[in-house]
Amino acid sequence: MSEQPLNPTPAGSHDADVTSDATSDPSAADEAAALRAASFERARRLRMEPRFPGGPAADPAGSHHERRIRSFQPRRSRVTTGQQESLERLWPTWGLDIDGKRVLDLAELFDGLPVVLEIGFGMGEATAQMAADDPGTGILAVDVHTPGQGNLLGLADKAGSTNVRVANGDAVILLREMLAPESLDGLRVYFPDPWPKARHHKRRLIQPEFLDLVAPVLKPGAIVHCATDWEPYAEQMLEVLTAHPRFENTAADGGYAPRPAFRPLTRFEGQGLDKGHVVHDLLFARV
């Protein structure tokens, strides 16, 4: 199913013509304003409509909209036939929207397995591999990228993994409103957007305020595992996590940790290593 254009009115069409006459004819000005309002409303409705009936919602927490700086940019890239088939077939069983309207029963959702939250899984290759390698751990994987959601569902299904649930929406709303206290056994944030420009650093996910949300939903001893190949962001992560009173570095020297065997070497990571990037892992325990 192809996406409809947000503004189907071509440039230079009737809307523009009416606007040009508006200065001399009050009725034309009213008509131009009405056309613009209709165009905006049409675009709003299209953004709200799910791309796939029964699949991930376009704006699952619309009623909880907040004017705050977000650490992600929603992307509605092209969905392949295989990804679409996976979304339509598997989303009703393994997918959920982050709507902020209920507290998740993770024990029921994952048949009693311990659950790790992963924020931002890209195309899902690493997540699918970790799920297959460790079927005794549930992975609640959060992202807003529709092709990645479909790809992860397809990969997990192909591997026969039943310990993955794909969540669509804002992880902040999930942490704040949909998870019970001490319900998670870990948090994984692998290669988040580094927002390299100084004016964008406030958009980085790993901030003190984010950790304030994370700490209450983690069980004591649960591990926060971050990884990045962007050196300045790694330094910020280390500084912020070290300063937070609810987290303790598991590295004896108080620095970065070796890459754990359970974190796969991803294609993205391999590309960074080929370019000479240094990947840093950070593992902090909730105290």
Which positions are annotated as active-site residues? 193
Q: Which structure tokens are listed for 198?
A: 């100084």
Instruction: Give the span between the Cα atoms of 139 and 117, in whole angstroms.
Output: 6
Q: Which structure tokens are listed for 124?
A: 């899902």
> Do residues 183 and 116 make contact, with C-beta atoms less than 8 angstroms apart?
no
- Please state, as a whole number, how many other Cβ atoms lie within 10 Å of the Cβ of residue 38: 12
Q: Which structure tokens are listed for 22?
A: 């508006």
- Non-local (6+) Cβ contacts of 228 within 8 A are 191, 192, 194, 234, 237, 279, 280
The three-class DSSP label of residue 142 is: strand
Chain position carrying tokens 């004591």: 220
